[in-house]
Structure 1
Amino acid sequence: MTIHREGTATITLTFILLALINGAIYYFVPGSPVLFWTVLGISAALFLFIISFFRLPKREHTEGEQLVVAPADGRVVVIEETVETEYFKDKRLQVSIFMSPANVHVNRNPISGEVKLSQYHAGKYLVAWHPKSSTENERHTVVIGNGANEILVRQIAGALARRIVNYLKAGMQVKQNDEMGFIKFGSRVDIYLPVGTKVDVQLEQTVRGGQTVIAKLG
């Protein structure tokens, strides 16, 4: 396991801040060992949590031209037909994955193909399961075309997330399971598939980015 590059600045800043706090307690409150060891323990736990959040585990990825592979780790919270209003402007099959702060937060391309759209939208920070989070929260929409099929993937910031990172630009040729981006501190990813697509996951199922098959394209 390695640490994702998006975590370098956050981990460094956290270490410096915690070191300053613990150093100040050690030197300015020398008569309170209980306070010092309590703060040190909390600081260590917080630092380990930050490191774990940016972990990048090694995995054997699932590949297949007709397969839609999970773009993120998390739990399936939505499987339903809905109207996608940004790009397709028609009915699509939506599959949503909720990412808790404990999940791996790198996002991956669900299919290979050409990037048709890569668009960032500023917005609110409603909780990720709020019905309006898909259209009102900070988000980044990507559409990848693969032959006759186009898949829309939307990274959505949640109540804790304050930064969405996306590496794709329109016109790029991308490979399935390569990194699409990163969402810091919990959120969700929506996938919009053609109506009638065979979905291979169920509600509340735990999925792993780059490994779990979400659906099979016709």
Structure 2
Amino acid sequence: MRIAPGAVRYAVAAALAGLATARRLGRRAAVALALLLAGAVLAFHRDPERTPPDDGAVAPADGVVSVVRTEEHDGDARVRVGIYMNAANVHVNRAPLPGTVASIEHIDGGHRLAFSKDSEHNERVHVDIAREADTDEATDDGDYRVTLIAGAFARRIHPYVEAGQPLARGERIGHISFGSRADVLLPAGVTEDEVLVEAGETTRAGETRIADV
């Protein structure tokens, strides 16, 4: 199983913490706890392969849809789809649509529970993606944004991409260690009637179609 970059160092830290905590219980117990904690960390950072569909916007994350709403962004009405990731979900995030990374912006903030309304003020990373004229997709759909949001226990957002990098639908763009939520601000012109999911539905990153774009 492929593991997200940087996960091994978290696993080592967890193993050392387990050894230190359980040393009074005996050597075997300490080793067992260390292996259990390291295995849990590696499982959390698993990165399975996915097969994207040929069209539509796909989910950026495994999890449960927590937000579907229309809001104003830069003078346009834009639809936001938010997906909450729990501890059992894969936490590697993927590009909903093909395009080119226009910019990446890190914003400091709090670390509230990711499923709460206040989580929109948490630490986050915006990945803005441009739909370019030389893609094999229609260009009228415009640009879009993926936002990776830290949660109460998530302290590390790890983007994999950089400005100018081309992306395919479903390509990996980053992961959040130990949390928490991924939002898509769909292209201008997309309406809620074109959204294919609703709050409470489960998604698979890179495979579940969330909008008919």
Partner of 1:165: 158
- Whole-Å separation in 1 of the counterparts to 2:167 and 2:52: 16
**What's the TM-score, normalizing by structure 2?**
0.85
1:1-218 matched pairs, under 5 angstroms: 1-26=1-26, 37=29, 43-59=34-50, 61-64=51-54, 66-84=55-73, 88-134=74-120, 136-146=121-131, 147-148=139-140, 149-193=142-186, 194=188, 195-196=190-191, 198-217=194-213
Contact 1:165 1:183 in 2 (8 A): yes
Partner of 2:136: none
Structure 1 or 2: more strand by fraction? 1
Contact 1:140 1:155 in 2 (8 A): yes
- Whole-Å separation in 1 of the counterparts to 2:87 and 2:12: 19
- Whole-Å separation in 1 of the counterparts to 2:112 and 2:60: 21
One-letter amino acid matched to 2:78:
R
- Whole-Å separation in 1 of the counterparts to 2:104 and 2:67: 23
- After superposition, give the CA deviation of every residue in 1:28-61 in whole Å (9 maximum; x if it has no partner): xxxxxxxx75x666555433322210112233x1
Q: 1:109 to 1:40 in 2, by over 3 A?
A: same
CA deviation after TM superposition for structure 1 residue 24, in Å: 4.8
Q: 1:167 to 1:5 in 2, by over 3 A?
A: closer
Q: Secondary structure at the match of 1:133?
A: helix
Partner of 2:134: none
- After superposition, give the CA deviation of every residue in 1:156-206 in whole Å (9 maximum; x if it has no partner): 001110111112222222222221001011210111113426111121011
Contact 1:6 1:54 in 2 (8 A): no
Percent identity of paired positions between Structure 1 and Structure 2? 33
Partner of 1:30: none
Can you give the 5+ residue segments of structure 1 that lack an aligned partner in the other structure? 28-35
- Whole-Å separation in 1 of the counterparts to 2:61 and 2:7: 17
One-letter amino acid matched to 1:196:
T
- Whole-Å separation in 1 of the counterparts to 2:191 and 2:3: 39
- Whole-Å separation in 2 of the counterparts to 1:53 and 1:26: 27
One-letter amino acid matched to 1:216:
D
Provide the alpha-carbon RMSD of the alignment. 2.1
